[in-house]
Amino acid sequence: MTKVLIVDDDTTGVETLSNVLEIKGYRVDAAYGGMEALEKIGRTNFDFVLLDLKLPDINGVETFRKIKKVKDGLKVVIMTAYSSPHPIQEARKEGTLAILTKPLNIDELLSLLK
């Protein structure tokens, strides 16, 4: 079973996305900040990370950089509501699998997770 970590401080959004992914057969865990995500990634072998760019402790791009140091090769999909291109460009430079704009298109997300 594919394991997905959702990293977002929006608890309602995390709960909704978790429910959708679980219905589709994914095993889902959640982290509500960058530090919590890094701790979970260090303990669990996730297949994918869905990472919001705006987090309360470490921004998403910096969290992504740290993820690569902990588990190089882990597939990370950036989720963002940002309209500013700078953080999106930085995430692209770091090698994200994809960048999805919120609200998420679930069909697009599911095709990435296959």
Q: Which residues of 92-106 are buried (b: 16+ CB within 10 A; e: fewer)?
A: eebebebbbeeebee
Q: Are 61 and 91 in contact (CB under 8 A)?
A: yes
Domain count, the chain: 1
What is the three-class DSSP state of 73? coil
N- to C-terminal Cα separation, the chain = 11
Residue 92, domain CATH: 3.40.50.2300
For each of the chain's 114 residues, which pLDDT tens digit applies?
Answer: 999 999 999 999 999 999 999 999 999 999 999 999 999 999 999 999 999 999 999 999 999 999 999 999 999 999 998 777 888 899 999 999 999 999 999 999 999 999
What is residue 12's predicted lDDT score, i.e. its pLDDT?
97
Sheet holding 75-80, edge to edge: 27-31, 3-7, 48-52, 75-80, 98-101
What is residue 84's predicted lDDT score, i.e. its pLDDT?
76
What is the distance between the alpha carbons of residues 63 and 52, in angstroms, rounded to a whole number?
10
Q: Which residues of 72-87 are buried (b: 16+ CB within 10 A; e: fewer)?
A: eebbbbbbbebeeeeb
What is residue 85's predicted lDDT score, i.e. its pLDDT?
84
Question: What residues make up the domain containing 63?
Answer: 3-112
What is residue 82's predicted lDDT score, i.e. its pLDDT?
74
